[in-house]
Structure 1
Amino acid sequence: MTKQTLALALLLASTLHAQQPKPLTSYIDPYIGVDWGGNTFIGSAIPFGMVKLGPDMETFDHRPSGFGYSSTGSILGFSHTHLSGAQGKYGNILVMPTTGDVTPLAIASPREKETAQPGYYAATLTRYNIRAELSSTRRTGIHRYTFPASQNAHLTLDLEHCLSRGNSQGWEDQHFVGGEVHVTNLHEITGIGRYSGGWNRGGEYRVYFVLQTDAPVTTARTWTGNGSNPWKDSIPDTSTIRITNDHNATVNAETPIGAILDFKTSAQQQVHVRVGISFVSIDQARNNLREEMPTYDLDAARRNVVAQWQKQLDTIHLSGATEKQRRMIYTAIYHTMMMPVDRTGENPLWQSTEPYYDDYYAVWDTFRSSAPFLTLVAPDRERDLVRSLLNIYQHDGYMPDARSGNVTGRTQGGSNTDVMVADAYVKHLPGIDWNTALQAMIKNAEVTPADLQKEGRGGIDDYNKLGYVTNRDERSGSRTVEYSNDDYSIAEVACGLGKDDIAKKYLARSHNFENLWDKNLEEGADVNPRAKRSVPGFKGFTRPKNPDGTWAAPNKDVRGSWWSFFYEGDEWTYSLYAPHDMRRIVELSGGPEEFARRLDYTFTHGHYDVSNEPGFLLPMLYAWSSHPDHTADVLRLTLEKWFSDTRSGIPGNDDSGAMSSWLIFNTLGFYPVAGQGIYILGTPAIPESTIAVGNGKTLHIVAKNAGEDGLNRYIQSATLNGKPLNNTWFRHADIANGGELILTMGSSPSATWGKATPPPSMSDPGFKLCN
């Protein structure tokens, strides 16, 4: 081959390579959201995978991370169970490689050369000069440790370790309540850890494991504490630890326990560890290893994880997006599909042929955008999630709001599984027992739960008798308005099933949000010093009510807690929460123009909390006031100010992908009204996108004239499936079988588009519940 021919061939190969599109998984940046409260998972996991294998860390001042990762500080070890977007649970079965003398509970190491990618985590433990690499399958983890030359190398197992470990009987502490470790041979350790507590205040859950290694082990030891809790402060008292040559160890609550495998290594010697996890039994953990990790091939496991994520990312394709936008969108899909967790076949509580999912953490967060997103792009997955909720209802008595570690606990607001079920129903997901679903919804609405914070509806006795939750119950304001929307969801399903009496009953109850509306309560009067004039306030807000029907003092909390009138929101947000009847809210607020002025004030005076779920729908409410341009302004500012492709790129807890799914919808240009089969148009930030909506069908969205600078943010006209779309909204049925949405964008608000017919409301003339 001549030099000219070789040069031409190289040039052609280079050109062809440049033309090859990057795999979508290359845009996933797991570090987005790890800082400033995003709590996103770092490590390896398949979509909805049971095992989430990643590092558990402490900060520079020895404070353990509540969700596992920390951008600063040291690695405590690598555990196999984590949440994503939340904290206060798991961190079980901790493995750590070391060299030199080993002192359990004091083996943390700084790290360098860290990298995280889909299905892969790696870092160098500088204290030991060991390179650690991780990957996983659905129910197993695989570790690869590259050691230096050492006459004193070890693998350590810490069974007691868990995130948010409690030093006392704290409200949200996790606790180790006992466990067993068995060295079955020099290359295998088995056992069980028992844990309780955490954010959901759950009862005991058990994690069974089988750990196998190809290390040249010469000695196996176990270690335990002396029966007292060594975690009196952030730095443990290691003098409580006793290391023995016993191959079996058993302890009770809060007592450290683990194992150490000793061996010698040559320079750059690789040692592999594979760990099978089960919530059922050691035999099941061993079977999981046999089925999913029969060899020590970490690279094969990594390729498998990447392939599974690529399949999920293929549901959305972007054209004209920036590299930053691609990183944000594909990472957001990744985060949205971390949880809930598919534990089908791993339910220790009952046998069933139905799907079983855990870590609904929590439906209060995810019903608004994550569930509608999965319904759109992964309908089979959302179907199984709903079926799992119904199966939990049949065996535990209620559908959960928050469930983790196989235990239901902590209902934050309404019984919002009702909305999740209704969303699946109105979008016609197949394969769901709707009669059982209606039974579960009615039980939420009618039966007083034994534990008012755990399941069902707290304050339901007053709500059903008086039409509102009184101030003798916590969160009575947010509960009342959410219960009203939940009741509407029940009415929808009942109507569709031909149960008219039930539908009428709950449709009437869905007006109950009005019972806490004080039409005379005025807020927001202001003086504009520049204009030297007064700005009138706004009349009508949701207000606490006493059991005798009299008004209590207005609630001024900026962001309520468990014991407040409003939960994680304020009166400006919750007073406007009636997604099923926004027309009535507009009327109560003084009409469309006054409602728009009120929304403007909410956004400009710090009452819009983008970091929390109660405000998710607020930017879209302008659709009921004929001001879609204000929606565009708020959304574009919110996206540009609060979301990015950095470690602090999510403005609050991602909450199982709730924040991430909000980002996806509003970047693409539309947002769901959960439970109603309605989408509201916003402002697309990407010129063109294609969304797979199931059964081989796609929705193609084109934003003509959209530019990277964001100036052409206002919709001038629209067509849907070739027909003019003059409204700011459309139905799921319009796109369920695919379609094309073409938006013509401009730099100034349209004088006419989107101002004809607002989205549907229960108070509309001629309203029909069943469509």
Structure 2
Amino acid sequence: MRWRRIGLYALVVGPVFGQPSDADDLASKVNLFIGTTSKGVASGHVFPGATIPHGMIKVGMDTDSPDRHAGYDRNITYNATGFSQLHDTGTGGGYPLSNFKLWPIAECARFGECPTSIDGRKLGRRALKDGSLPDVAEPGYFATSLVSGVHAELTATRRAALHRYTFPKNSKEPRILVDITNDGQQSATNPFTIIDPTTGRTKGGASFAASFGPGRYNAYVCVDVKGDEFETNVTEYGVWQGNSAVQHSVKLSQLYLGATNEAGSLLTYSPSSGKNTTLLVRVGVSFISADKACSSAEEEIPDFDFARVRAESRAKWNDLLGRVRVDETQVDKNTTALLYSSIYRTAIVPANYTGDNPHWNSSSPYFDSYYCNWDSYRTLYPWYAMTDPRTFAQIVEAQIDIWRNEGWLPECRGATVQHYIQGGSNADPILAEYYVKWGTHSPELGVSVDDLYSALITNAEKQPENWNLQGRQTEVWKTYGYVPADIWEPGGANTKQASRSVEYAFGDFCISQVAKGLNKTDDHEKYTTRASNYINSWDSSVSIAGHTGFIQNKFQNGTFHYTDPRHCSIHDPLESTCYLNAVNTDGFYESSPIVYSQCVPHDTAKLIELQGGKDKFVERLDWIFEQGYFDVSNEPSQQMPFMYHYADQPAKSTKRSREVISKYYNLTDTGIPGNDDPGAMASYAAFYLLGLYPLPATRQVLLSSPWFPTINITNAFTNTTTTINAINFKQGVYVQNVTVNGQP
């Protein structure tokens, strides 16, 4: 790539204009298959199935891939095992959700001989004539064809899914299997199944294991089948267990575990005459009860109208995508596709479970699938603040409501249960980001600022019994100003001490910003002081490659515990991983001391001083990039390309940030640098493509050159549009000057 100069003309805020018309279909620019196949550690684990923005239902195809965190794998060598209703996206850990698989069976000799177990029934996908994959994915829609000749199509509302299965003409006894037990981890206990032999309605449920924590959750399903433009009847029915179906049985409860811990229902339907049989299958899911699952499905899809549901889902996505409009005339179409595909992935999760919270009754929204705040606070929530404040406010109020009822803000949460904390208490920057940007609008947005602040103070001042799942290891933080490496407490894993010290400092900075806005002067001073505690973990005696001073683990007595700065990097002689596991006792999480020593976004001026001044700071950044220590796959590195701004070298920020997009992101099924980390990597790419990088809990946005000559960003709450015009776009990429509302 040739690096040139540009002038970024203006940021102009004014009345709404440039809104998408009804004819615009930005959904057509989204590639849902990005990041759906593994390539070494670059496993995006992206969900490509059907959902609406922030929908609870994410209906998609599951495979037998070893990388099936979102159920799916684009690699055609993996078999399909079912079409399940719930998924996460972009996660690591265990295989989450993938509950309540449906499976169409085109033909088997007799009812009792149909393959029902997950290994017995799985089939390959039928390749197209050119050998390519038959899978089709669009916002709100997914389709594939199986080697059995069945064509499967999926669409969704917020709490219900609609499947459409077209069977081959020779299918005389089309069947639908409902799998109650086989979630992603095959973790079901206490499953039950009930069949209504007259209507064919199946209800069921079970208890399942959390994928990144010790908890369990209950989930329930309700399945109804209808012929597509023809009348069909149930001709056979029964429950199945293992690989055996028992005809005319209508109820099953399984209270033990064993080799046959697979169960569900199997129903045969009368075929249509003279043409392919097409069955519509409506599925409701609930975390409260099977009856609740039925009522949700009946409310949202009363008519089994597949075309309507698909069109309405696509319209919701077009509304969301249309909040960012770009001039495509001078840009490669792949760049436009990368932008809108990234924007799409910012809204798959968190998921709106409002009305389906099994733990308490509340008038507040309930959102789930925070997997995890540590990954997403840097860019996902600033993206919401910029484009979708109403949804952002609902998520914030939902997190506050978890604090009201469970005592602590969530850090990592899935399927209504707590998961393990990754870094600090990273709801702090999310709530602070909301307050700094939208706190004055809280009455209209439905957020209690008093409770928001109280929840933050709980994180800052109280220590939970189990700080593996919530809150912080607060007492030692307040006592020492860092987390000592040699204090062992029963309330959590005694690990990540150095990186948690850095995270806690930034959390306290975020709280200080809320305190400042609320005119709580004493609190503002207190948390501003605590935000500087990262300095307590700075060891100026550690050097590598001519760079001096790094974050290190520290003992109670004030001495440091040396850790090679390369630890957990690609150049680590010990090849350490720093994942969340028992063998990680080295003080750092998912990034090296080299990276964490740059993770002071709230106090970069002091960081530059600690590193020997601006020239040394730039030399260190150059070394980090040139030697491969920059780790784009993990979030602590995300701000690093823009840090040259603070040393008065924004041209280098432009160079490095554009290299991130060019080198690490593309439209292929391995086109994400690591897990998508529910929206984190997507929002990161979206900001970079717009030439922006936000600092959470502040009004600071770092500017670079945009990848489009004109960008309109519409705020759905204020109905105002910010326009970015890149003057002389074709002539260069470096920013020469900036004006905002006509002012330099």
TM tier, shorter chain?
Answer: 0.7 to 0.9
Partner of 1:146: 166
Cα displacement (A) at 1:46: 0.3
Q: Of residues 318, 330, 333 in structure 1, which corresponds to 2:326?
A: 318
- How far apart, in 2, do the equivalents of 1:366 and 1:192 lie? 34
Partner of 2:105: 98
Q: 1:723-734 alignment to 2 at 5 Å?
A: 723-724=743-744
The answer to whether the 8 A contact 2:194-2:204 is kept is no
* 2:316 maps to 1:308: yes
Cα displacement (A) at 1:21: 6.5
Mean Cα deviation higher: 201-210 or 412-421: 201-210
Partner of 1:123: 144
- How far apart, in 2, do the equivalents of 1:158 and 1:413 lie? 37
1:6-31 Cα distance to aligned partner (Å, 9 max, x none) = xxxxxxxxxxxxx9975111101110
* 2:727 maps to 1:719: no
1:320-347 Cα distance to aligned partner (Å, 9 max, x none) = 3331112111111111001001111111
1:605-645 Cα distance to aligned partner (Å, 9 max, x none) = 11101111111111111111011111111111111111011
- How far apart, in 1, do the equivalents of 2:416 and 2:528 lie? 34
- How far apart, in 2, do the equivalents of 1:579 and 1:668 lie? 20
Partner of 1:418: 428
The answer to whether the 8 A contact 2:205-2:290 is kept is no
- How far apart, in 2, do the equivalents of 1:301 and 1:272 lie? 12
Q: Alpha carbons of 1:637 and 1:276: their partners in 2 closer, same or farther (altered >3 Å)? A: same
Q: Alpha carbons of 1:581 and 1:253: their partners in 2 closer, same or farther (altered >3 Å)? A: farther
- How far apart, in 1, do the equivalents of 2:661 and 2:48 lie? 24
Partner of 1:14: none
**TM-score (norm. length: structure 1):** 0.84
- How far apart, in 1, do the equivalents of 2:568 and 2:723 lie? 43
Partner of 1:545: 554
Partner of 1:698: 721
Compare relative contact order (CA 8 Å, sep 6+) and give the higher one, 1 or 2: 2
The DSSP-based 3-state class of the residue aligned with 1:95 is strand
Partner of 1:557: 568
Cα displacement (A) at 1:64: 6.9
Partner of 1:246: 249
Partner of 1:257: 263
Q: Of residues 164, 177, 181 in structure 1, which corresponds to 2:193?
A: 181
* 2:478 maps to 1:464: yes
Partner of 1:439: 454
Cα displacement (A) at 1:439: 1.4
Partner of 1:613: 635
The DSSP-based 3-state class of the residue aligned with 2:172 is strand
- How far apart, in 1, do the equivalents of 2:138 and 2:433 lie? 33
Cα displacement (A) at 1:244: 4.6
Cα displacement (A) at 1:151: 3.0
- How far apart, in 1, do the equivalents of 2:121 and 2:519 lie? 64
Q: Of residues 648, 654, 657 in structure 1, which corresponds to 2:676?
A: 654
- How far apart, in 2, do the equivalents of 1:605 and 1:618 lie? 14
Letter in 2 for 1:34: T
1:632-663 Cα distance to aligned partner (Å, 9 max, x none) = 11111111111011111111111111101011
The answer to whether the 8 A contact 2:354-2:367 is kept is yes
- How far apart, in 2, do the equivalents of 1:191 and 1:21 lie? 41
The answer to whether the 8 A contact 1:186-1:218 is kept is no
Mean Cα deviation higher: 471-480 or 259-268: 259-268
The DSSP-based 3-state class of the residue aligned with 2:701 is strand
- How far apart, in 1, do the equivalents of 2:149 and 2:743 lie? 65
The answer to whether the 8 A contact 1:181-1:189 is kept is no
The DSSP-based 3-state class of the residue aligned with 1:561 is coil
1:288-322 Cα distance to aligned partner (Å, 9 max, x none) = 12211011211111001001001101100010333
Partner of 1:30: 32
Letter in 1 for 2:174: A
Mean Cα deviation higher: 401-410 or 580-589: 401-410
The answer to whether the 8 A contact 2:52-2:158 is kept is yes
* 2:80 maps to 1:75: yes
The answer to whether the 8 A contact 2:69-2:88 is kept is no
* 2:653 maps to 1:631: yes
The answer to whether the 8 A contact 1:546-1:552 is kept is yes
1:28-76 Cα distance to aligned partner (Å, 9 max, x none) = 11101112311111211000001000000113xxx47232001221110
Letter in 1 for 2:374: W
Partner of 1:49: 55
Partner of 1:13: none
The DSSP-based 3-state class of the residue aligned with 1:522 is strand
Counting aligned pairs with the same residue, the percent is 31
Cα displacement (A) at 1:365: 1.0
Cα displacement (A) at 1:253: 5.1
Partner of 1:738: none
Cα displacement (A) at 1:501: 1.8
Q: Of residues 413, 418, 425 in structure 2, which corresponds to 1:408?
A: 418
Cα displacement (A) at 1:393: 0.2
Cα displacement (A) at 1:467: 0.8
Partner of 1:296: 304
Partner of 2:375: 365
The DSSP-based 3-state class of the residue aligned with 1:427 is helix
The answer to whether the 8 A contact 2:51-2:59 is kept is yes
Q: Of residues 80, 96, 110 in structure 1, which corresponds to 2:124?
A: 110
The DSSP-based 3-state class of the residue aligned with 1:188 is coil
The DSSP-based 3-state class of the residue aligned with 1:185 is coil
Partner of 1:86: 91
The DSSP-based 3-state class of the residue aligned with 2:554 is coil
Q: Alpha carbons of 1:44 and 1:202: their partners in 2 closer, same or farther (altered >3 Å)? A: farther
The answer to whether the 8 A contact 1:629-1:714 is kept is yes
The DSSP-based 3-state class of the residue aligned with 1:349 is coil
Partner of 1:3: none
- How far apart, in 2, do the equivalents of 1:495 and 1:715 lie? 33
Give the gaps of 5 or more residues in structure 1: 1-18, 166-174, 226-237, 526-536, 725-771
Q: 1:363-762 alignment to 2 at 5 Å?
A: 363-429=373-439, 430-431=441-442, 432-458=447-473, 460-472=474-486, 473-523=494-544, 525=545, 537-555=546-564, 556-558=567-569, 559-562=577-580, 563=584, 564-693=586-715, 694-707=717-730, 712-724=732-744
The answer to whether the 8 A contact 1:160-1:257 is kept is yes
Letter in 2 for 1:453: N
CA RMSD of aligned residues (A): 1.7
Letter in 2 for 1:671: Y
Letter in 1 for 2:81: L
Cα displacement (A) at 1:571: 1.2
The DSSP-based 3-state class of the residue aligned with 1:518 is strand
Q: Of residues 354, 357, 368 in structure 2, which corresponds to 1:347?
A: 357
Cα displacement (A) at 1:684: 1.2
The DSSP-based 3-state class of the residue aligned with 1:280 is coil
Letter in 1 for 2:237: A
- How far apart, in 2, do the equivalents of 1:278 and 1:257 lie? 19
1:130-179 Cα distance to aligned partner (Å, 9 max, x none) = 111111111111111111222332110111111133xxxxxxxxx21221
Cα displacement (A) at 1:103: 1.4
Cα displacement (A) at 1:204: 2.2
Paired residues in the alignment total 663
Cα displacement (A) at 1:672: 0.3
Letter in 1 for 2:178: L
Cα displacement (A) at 1:412: 0.4
- How far apart, in 2, do the equivalents of 1:567 and 1:507 lie? 25
Cα displacement (A) at 1:190: 3.5
Letter in 2 for 1:157: V
Partner of 2:129: none
The answer to whether the 8 A contact 1:66-1:164 is kept is no
Partner of 1:283: 291
- How far apart, in 2, do the equivalents of 1:470 and 1:561 lie? 19
Give the gaps of 5 or more residues in structure 2: 1-20, 109-113, 127-133, 227-231, 487-493, 570-576
- How far apart, in 1, do the equivalents of 2:312 and 2:196 lie? 30
1:552-575 Cα distance to aligned partner (Å, 9 max, x none) = 122423252222411111111101
